[in-house]
Structure formats: structure tokens, C-alpha cells
Chains A and B, each alone.
Chain A
Amino acid sequence: GAGVSQTPSNKVTEKGKYVELRCDPISGHTALYWYRQSLGQGPEFLIYFQGTGAADDSGLPNDRFFAVRPEGSVSTLKIQRTERGDSAVYLCASSSSGRGYNEQFFGPGTRLTVL
């Protein structure tokens, strides 16, 4: 079956612009995670959805970052007034449940470059 997909695969934008990154999880997975991977680092947690609600957004770096999952499936990560420091690969993962541990399946990521 289809895995986690993310679009676009690459996004180049200018400082100060607004961007949206999309994640399509595996069908039926109720838990969805966003991570950010900066160059030379491991992924860092941003936000976790269980169904439609953000169960934990403690990893969002500041209020320029926001994410939604209105129907409990597709999620969009939104970044306002982008800064050069936002350049990174944004990863999405989904799992069958957020309780305890169920394997998280990762998408290929969106590489965001802010000029």
C-alpha cells in the first residue's frame, strides 16, 4: 500500500514569505507527527496530532509555525514570515496509534530553503 507522502519535495522561498507543507499519512493512521531535520542533525519533534486535534505542540519553535489536520487525515504545516534559519527538511510520520509506541512510518520529507 501507499506510504506517507509529502508535497512538495522541495520548496525554495524568500525570507518573509509564507509557506505550506503538506503531509498525506498512511490511510487509517490516527497519529501524525511533524519533525524538522536541520543539516547535520537528527530530526527534532515539532507537533503531534491524534485525530484532528493537536495533542502536543510543544516542539513548535515559535508562533510563526502552525499546523492543522482538519479531517483527521491530511495535515498542513504552515510557516509565516519565513527566516533563513527555517531552512531544513521537514519530515512527517504517521502511526496507527499515539498511545504507547506503534511504529512511526516516515515520509521522504520536504526540503525547505529560505533565501
Chain B
Amino acid sequence: AQSVTQLDSHVSVSEGTPVLLRCNYSSSYSPSLFWYVQHPNKGLQLLLKYTSAATLVKGINGFEAEFKKSETSFHLTKPSAHMSDAAEYFCVVLNYGGSQGNLIFGKGTKLSVKP
């Protein structure tokens, strides 16, 4: 079975400082991993995805994530936070055990950005 654990429920940073949102995964297979962002009253949006190609994945809005098999981690980073980055972020793994394509979400990390 696959699962993801987001290690922080809430992260607060100052504008212009780095962002680190932590995620560990568990999978019996080589996982496909994703980060989604959810702004208030808006739909979930895909930030980036890892599907066994390059281990460093670049996404939209300056975000990137590194797949580390030895640490079973897929942490999301950004060098410099903007106010518009304030949102809920979900680490997600593709479920191979069920239907081909349904997603398993972590509990989310709320990112606050202080001016």
C-alpha cells in the first residue's frame, strides 16, 4: 500500500525567505509523487510531479522537489517566498493498488507568509 506523511501541519515564513515543506512516502512500488496547492475557494492545482525520471523536479511558480529514495522523502522547496504562496499544500502519491490513477493525499501543510 502507498501512503504519504506530511511532517508539518503549519509552516510560517517571512516573505523573501526559503520555503521547506516536508513529505515522507511509503510505497511497495517505485512511486509516482506529486505536490498540489489549494488556494482558498479555488480548486487544487498541480505544482509538480515525479514519475521516475530526474530526481530533482521543477514545478510552477519557482517550486521544486527532490526525490530521495534512501530517505523516502519528497520535500518541496522554494528559494524565496512570496505573499501569493500562502495556501495549503498537499503531498500526493499515485495509488497503484486500486484503480489506475486515483490519488492518495497527505493531510496538508498550511503555508503562511508574513510580510
Pair B100/A99 contact, Cβ less than 8 Å? yes
Q: In the assembled complex, which residues on chain B have CB atoms less than 8 Å from the CB atom of A59? A: 98, 102
State whether the Cβ of B24 lies closer than 8 Å to any Cβ in chain A: no
State whether the Cβ of B32 lies closer than 8 Å to any Cβ in chain A: yes
Secondary structure type dominating chain B contacts = loop
State whether the Cβ of B83 lies closer than 8 Å to any Cβ in chain A: no
Tell me the bound Cα distance from A41 to B110 in angstroms.
11
Pair B100/A98 contact, Cβ less than 8 Å? yes
Q: How far is the CB of A108 from chain B (nearest CB, A)?
A: 5
Tell me the bound Cα distance from A99 to B41 in angstroms.
30
- Interface size of B in residues (CB-CB distance below 8 Å): 24
Interface string of B73-115 (1 = CB under 8 A from A): 0000000000000000010101100111111111110000000
State whether the Cβ of A31 lies closer than 8 Å to any Cβ in chain B: yes
Q: Give the 4 A-B CB pairs with smallest separation, nearest first.
A: A42-B105, A56-B99, A106-B44, A106-B43
Question: Which residues in B have some Cβ–Cβ distance to A below 8 Å?
Answer: 32, 41-46, 49, 51, 90, 92, 94-95, 98-108
New contact pairs (10) apart from A41-B107, A43-B103, CB-CB < 8 Å:
A33-B102, A35-B103, A41-B108, A43-B90, A45-B95, A56-B98, A100-B100, A101-B51, A103-B49, A107-B43
Question: Which residues in A have some Cβ–Cβ distance to B below 8 Å?
Answer: 3-4, 31, 33, 35, 40-45, 48, 55-56, 58-59, 91, 93, 95, 97-109
